[in-house]
């Protein structure tokens, strides 16, 4: 999603022993989570104040809030009072003990540090690193004191604050000039969904583990649905010798957990790095499917490495068998390949854009990931687009997607940079390649990962070197997955005629792109969420504090003014949520009816990073908005939909509409009874079959809206006594006011010049 300006106008020094590693499960790993931290003056290097408790994974601002040094940055305007922290450096330290026997090695793995950092162990430098999404693996064997306390220290370099100016457009340009040089979370510099909270912290796990002389550093798993498996293994050996690699594969979430394969491979190792590429075959593999087409079957692979006859290392990883292909959309421009086939079966992409669930990583618990992914599954979402202005998420997110059968479209951390382009120098090129490579290594073993995008809404034509680097990295590390230069490109659409340009439903219906990858509008969150984060004296009328929490008043007023509503906070909440649900329902169903000319919809957005007045369907406190509840019907794999005209309806009007059955399942439903109710009264009933993977018009509704009850159209699909599908239309909700010609021209210009759209 672009910032407002868009629509208006490696630094890595490696010390020997440091490398990168993906997420591998080690039963012997110990998580380091209890730290202390202290403020450091940048000029003098002196420590300021006392040591305070710090949590890892976490961040400086959350730790300062917990320590009482900051008011809650999410309340009122408090985030502005947190920015001083960026002008200082911060030191995090912890102590640990480690008893090493002969031939044992000790490793410390940092899964993610934001953003520029230096590490020391027992006062010896161990790394200097720039980049938020790459991991740091340290061989600490020679520096650790066996049987004594060891001090681990990480210094975080404060990134400073950008100079703000009064002119909004110039301010947005200054923000772009600063963040374009970083691979940090782009929205942390301020966005229309997030407040400015430039931060620092050890935001992902820190693990310590022991191995023998040989350590398994990386594991890439490539599969084919015929059962072939090839492994890309990187090993680190302290000395030369003979090793044996034992591979065990067993079902993870289906059937009995009995091995389906046990194989051993001999290896002759030299000191230092080496690779191993064993291949084997699993007979008759159970495939990984999205939840709507089957079961998300996973396997668990265990690698056990013996060196000179003794156990040296053991890791585990889950994986799946699945193949994804992309085909040309019918009646679309050449090269618009957004018809997805999963294991040979077409799948309509019923998706949502995913943003970081919290702007402050220290406030984000695994339970929030679990709840959000579960809610997405309940709303029938089968793909997430992990937006490029956000993060590479913690591994638990991708594990949950694997297990729930939800596909993932991952973007790299580049977003909404227009003028000038990204830096072209060697330093930035190496930084970008480091970060992109790390993200691919993180995702490549997850069957849910479906495709990569270079980023969100940047100009592809002026950043060809960056794009080609990303394409090369994906091709080298994960060649089975698709890469697109940016989104939008190659036929997907970010349709912001509605909301940003104050358009109407017709602006959605006239969009002829192959995939709708961004569209949406703001709705206020639940009253209880507002009451938690906005003080009573500021809650009504809507004022500057709401703008600080991302409300765009002029735009939301356009949409809620189309509805009768009370001039009160509850009235605005109800009206905005009704209008958001109306737009999401009508747009999604319009495009689903026309599958596969349009092959998917991904609304903006599912979750939100802080308590804002934004386009999410689930607010920061995990309270669903009305649009979320509507998704359960509009995104149901078996959909009954009325292709209503864009008009306002009232009691007494004659209502006519085509009725469609959309079946996204790969199986047929026969002898279905479809019922239409107006104002609670049955007005029509039909019988029909629903062929697999089809959208079919099954009837033409013609009825009169009752004079007295609310004008509600309700549709049911039944098979015997069982209700298979349901839908409801509040016919009193409508919005006919079109966008201005100026706004239409502005949106067209932004797509052509700034948003990176190639078609």
Q: Does position 24 have pLDDT exceeding 90, yes or no?
A: no
Q: Which residues touch 385 (CB under 8 Å, ≥6 apart)? A: 351, 352, 353, 354, 409, 411, 453, 487, 517, 602
pLDDT band with cut points at 50, 70 and 90 for residue 6 = very low
Reported as a single tens digit per residue, the pLDDT across 487-513 is 999 999 999 999 999 999 999 999 999
Reported as a single tens digit per residue, the pLDDT across 80-115 is 999 999 999 999 999 999 999 999 999 999 999 999
- What is the per-residue pLDDT for 744? 84
Q: Tell me what the mean pLDDT of segment 452-461 comes to.
A: 95
Q: Does position 4 have pLDDT exceeding 50, yes or no?
A: no
Architecture of domain 639-730: Sandwich (2.60)
324-521+580-635 in CATH: which number? 3.20.20.80
* Long-range own/partner contacts, residues 746-749 (CB < 8 A, 24 or more apart): 746/7, 746/501, 747/7, 747/496, 747/497, 747/500, 747/501
CATH superfamily assigned to domain 212-319: Immunoglobulins (2.60.40.10)
Q: Does position 9 have pLDDT exceeding 80, yes or no?
A: no
pLDDT band with cut points at 50, 70 and 90 for residue 7 = very low
- What is the per-residue pLDDT for 176? 84
In the block, tokens 């290392």 appear at 313
Reported as a single tens digit per residue, the pLDDT across 32-53 is 999 999 999 999 999 999 999 9
Domain chopping of the chain, boundaries: 4-209, 212-319, 324-521+580-635, 639-730
Reported as a single tens digit per residue, the pLDDT across 266-316 is 999 999 999 999 999 999 999 999 999 999 999 999 999 999 999 999 999
- The residues with which 230 forms a beta bridge, in sequence order, are 222, 279
- Could you give phi then psi for residue 579, rounded to 5 degrees? -70, -40
Would strands 681-690 and 669-678 be described as parallel, antiparallel, or unpaired? antiparallel
Domains 4-209 and 212-319 share a fold: no
Residue 644 to residues 35, 436, 694, 732, 735: CA-CA distances in angstroms?
Answer: 59, 45, 20, 13, 13
Q: CA 682, CA 675: separation in Å to the nearest integer?
A: 7
Reported as a single tens digit per residue, the pLDDT across 392-441 is 999 999 999 999 999 999 999 999 998 889 999 999 999 999 999 999 99
Reported as a single tens digit per residue, the pLDDT across 632-668 is 999 999 999 999 999 988 889 999 999 999 999 999 9
CA neighbours closer than 13 Å in the CB half-sphere of residue 9: 15
Q: Which two tokens stand for residue 460?
A: 């592809």
Q: What percent of the chain has pLDDT over 90?
A: 88
CATH superfamily assigned to domain 4-209: Galactose-binding domain-like (2.60.120.260)
- What is the per-residue pLDDT for 753? 65
Reported as a single tens digit per residue, the pLDDT across 685-705 is 999 999 999 999 999 999 999
Reported as a single tens digit per residue, the pLDDT across 352-395 is 999 999 999 999 999 999 999 999 999 999 999 999 999 999 99
Q: Tell me what the mean pLDDT of segment 241-259 comes to.
A: 96
Reported as a single tens digit per residue, the pLDDT across 135-176 is 999 999 999 998 899 999 999 999 988 778 777 778 777 888
Reported as a single tens digit per residue, the pLDDT across 172-213 is 778 888 899 999 999 999 999 999 999 999 999 999 999 999
DSSP 16-35: TTEE-----B-TT-EE--EE
- What is the per-residue pLDDT for 17? 37
pLDDT band with cut points at 50, 70 and 90 for residue 708 = confident
pLDDT band with cut points at 50, 70 and 90 for residue 18 = very low
- What is the per-residue pLDDT for 318? 98
Reported as a single tens digit per residue, the pLDDT across 315-353 is 999 999 999 999 999 999 999 999 999 999 999 999 999
Of residues 430, 394, 395, 437, the one with CA closest to residue 412: 437
Q: Does position 19 have pLDDT exceeding 60, yes or no?
A: no
């Amino acid at each position: 999603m672009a910032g407002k300006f868009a629509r208006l106008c490696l630094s890595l020094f490696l010390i020997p022993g440091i490398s990168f590693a993906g997420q591998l499960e080690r039963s012997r790993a110990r998580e380091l989570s209890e730290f202390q931290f202290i403020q450091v003056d940048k000029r003098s290097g002196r420590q300021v104040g006392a040591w305070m408790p710090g949590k890892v994974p976490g961040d400086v601002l959350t730790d300062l809030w917990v320590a009482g040094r900051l008011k809650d940055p999410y309340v009122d305007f408090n985030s502005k009072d947190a920015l001083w922290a960026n002008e200082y450096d911060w030191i995090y330290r912890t102590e640990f003990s480690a008893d090493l026997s002969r031939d044992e090695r000790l490793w410390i793995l940092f899964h993610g540090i934001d953003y520029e950092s230096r590490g020391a162990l027992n006062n010896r430098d161990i790394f200097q690193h720039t980049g938020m999404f790459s991991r740091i693996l340290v061989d600490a064997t020679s520096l650790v004191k066996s049987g004594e306390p060891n001090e681990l220290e990480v210094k975080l370099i404060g990134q400073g604050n950008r100079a703000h100016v009064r002119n909004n457009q110039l301010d947005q340009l200054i923000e772009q000039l600063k963040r374009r040089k970083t691979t940090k979370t782009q929205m942390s510099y301020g966005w229309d969904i997030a407040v400015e909270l430039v931060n620092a912290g050890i935001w992902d796990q820190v693990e310590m583990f022991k191995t023998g002389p040989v350590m398994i550093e990386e594991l890439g798993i490539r599969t084919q649905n015929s059962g072939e498996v090839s492994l890309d293994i990187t090993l680190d050996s302290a000395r030369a010798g003979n090793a044996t690699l034992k591979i065990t594969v067993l079902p993870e979430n289906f059937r009995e957990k009995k091995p389906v394969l046990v194989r051993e491979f001999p290896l002759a190792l030299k000191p230092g790095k080496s690779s191993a590429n064993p291949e084997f075959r699993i007979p008759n593999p159970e495939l990984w499917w999205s939840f709507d087409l089957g079961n998300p079957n996973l396997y668990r692979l265990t690698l056990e490495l013996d060196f000179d006859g003794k156990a040296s290392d053991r890791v585990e990883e889950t994986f799946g068998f699945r193949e994804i292909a992309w085909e040309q959309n019918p009646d679309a421009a050449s090269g618009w390949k957004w018809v997805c086939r999963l294991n040979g079966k077409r799948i309509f992409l019923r998706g949502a854009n995913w943003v970081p669930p919290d702007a402050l990583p220290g406030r984000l618990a695994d339970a929030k990931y679990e709840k959000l992914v579960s809610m997405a599954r309940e709303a029938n979402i089968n793909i997430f687009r992990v937006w490029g202005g956000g993060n590479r998420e913690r591994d638990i997110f991708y594990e949950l997607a694997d297990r729930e059968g939800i596909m993932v479209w991952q973007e790299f951390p580049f977003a909404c940079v227009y003028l000038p382009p990204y830096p072209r120098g060697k330093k930035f090129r190496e930084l970008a390649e480091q970060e992109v490579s790390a993200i691919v290594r993180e995702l490549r073993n997850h069957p849910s990962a479906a495709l990569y995008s270079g980023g969100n809404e940047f100009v592809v034509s002026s950043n060809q070197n960056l794009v080609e680097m990303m394409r090369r990295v994906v091709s080298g590390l994960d060649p089975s997955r698709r890469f697109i230069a940016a989104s939008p490109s190659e036929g997907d659409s970010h349709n912001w005629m509605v909301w940003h340009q104050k358009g109407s439903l017709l602006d959605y219906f006239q969009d002829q792109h192959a995939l709708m990858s961004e569209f949406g509008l703001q709705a206020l969150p639940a009253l209880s969420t507002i009451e938690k984060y906005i003080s009573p004296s500021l809650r009504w009328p809507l004022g500057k504090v709401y703008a600080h929490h991302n409300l765009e008043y002029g735009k939301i007023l356009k949409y809620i003014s189309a509805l009768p509503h009370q001039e009160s906070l509850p009235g605005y909440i109800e009206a905005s949520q009704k209008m958001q649900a109306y737009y999401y329902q009508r747009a999604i169903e319009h495009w689903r009816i026309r599958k596969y000319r349009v092959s998917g919809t991904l609304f903006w957005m599912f979750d939100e990073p802080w308590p804002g007045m934004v386009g999410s369907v689930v607010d920061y406190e995990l309270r669903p908005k009305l649009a979320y509840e509507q998704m359960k019907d509009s995104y149901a794999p078996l959909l009954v939909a009325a292709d209503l005209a864009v008009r306002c309806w009232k009691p007494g009007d004659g209502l006519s509409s085509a009725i469609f059955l959309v079946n996204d399942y790969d199986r047929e439903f026969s002898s279905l009874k479809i019922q239409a109710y107006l104002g609670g009264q049955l007005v029509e009933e039909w019988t029909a079959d629903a062929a697999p993977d089809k959208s079919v018009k099954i009837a033409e509704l013609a009825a009169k809206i009752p004079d007295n009850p609310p004008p509600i159209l309700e549709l049911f699909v039944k098979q015997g006594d069982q209700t298979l599908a349901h839908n409801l239309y509040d016919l009193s909700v409508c919005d006919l006011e079109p966008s201005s010609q100026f706004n239409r021209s502005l949106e067209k210009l932004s797509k052509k010049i700034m948003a990176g759209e190639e078609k």
